[in-house]
Amino acid sequence: MKSTPVHPLRTVAREARNIPGVYRWLGTDGEVLYVGKSKTLRTRLLTYFRAQRGDKQHRIVEGAHSLTWDYEPSEFAALLRELEMIKRFRPRMNVQHKRDGRYSFLKIAGVSAPRLYVVSAVSDDAASYYGPFRGGRRVEEAVRELNDLLGLRDCPVNTPIRFADQPDLFSWEHTPRCHRFDLKLCLGPCAGRCAETEYMRRVDLARAFLDGKADEPLRWLNERMTAAAERWEYEYAGMLRDRLQRLEALRDEFARLREALDGLTFLYCVPGVDQDDRVYLVRRGTVRAAVTAPKSAAERRRLERLCDEHFGLPEPTSTLVQRHQVDEILLIARWFRGRPDQMENTVPPARLEALPLSA
The boundaries of every CATH 3.40.1440.10 domain in the chain are 2-98
CB-CB contact of 84 with 55 (8 Å): no
Q: Is the dihedral of CA 143, 147, 148, 154 positive or negative?
A: negative
DSSP annotation string for 4-30 = EESS-HHHHHHH--SSSEEEEEE-TTS
DSSP state of 182: T
Please tell me the number of Cα atoms within 13 Å of 22 on its side-chain side. Answer: 18
pTM, two decimal places: 0.79
Q: Please choose, from the candidates 271, 338, 329, the residue with its C-alpha nearest in 3D space to the C-alpha of residue 80.
A: 329
How far, in Å, CA of 15 to CA of 4, rounded? 10
Q: Please choose, from the candidates 177, 351, 202, the residue with its C-alpha nearest in 3D space to the C-alpha of residue 265.
A: 351
CB-CB contact of 108 with 128 (8 Å): yes
Amino acid 320: pLDDT: 77
Amino acid 169: pLDDT: 52
Q: Which residues pair with 71 in a beta bridge?
A: 21
Q: Please choose, from the candidates 39, 48, 37, the residue with its C-alpha nearest in 3D space to the C-alpha of residue 9.
A: 48
First to last CA, the chain: 27
Amino acid 167: pLDDT: 65
DSSP state of 150: H
Write out pLDDT tens, residues 75-129: 999 999 999 999 899 998 987 545 555 778 889 987 789 999 998 888 878 888 8
Per-residue b or e along 213-226, where b marks 16 or more CB atoms closer than 10 Å to that residue's CB: ebeebbeebeebbe
Amino acid 1: pLDDT: 62
Amino acid 313: pLDDT: 87
Write out pLDDT tens, residues 263-277: 999 999 999 999 999
Which residues in the chain land under pLDDT 70?
1-8, 96-101, 135, 167-173, 359
- Is the CATH number 3.40.1440.10 carried by domain 2-98? yes
DSSP tally for the chain: helices H, then strands E = 10, 12
Residue 25, phi then psi, degrees to nearest 5: -95, 125
Amino acid 37: pLDDT: 96
Task: Tell me the C-alpha to C-alpha distance, in Å, between residue 350 and each of 215, 265, 304, 347, 359.
Answer: 32, 11, 10, 8, 23
Cis-peptide, bond into residue 340, ω within 30° of zero: no
**Does residue 97 come out as left (phi exceeding 0), alpha (psi in the -120 to 50 range) or beta?**
left
CB-CB contact of 33 with 25 (8 Å): yes
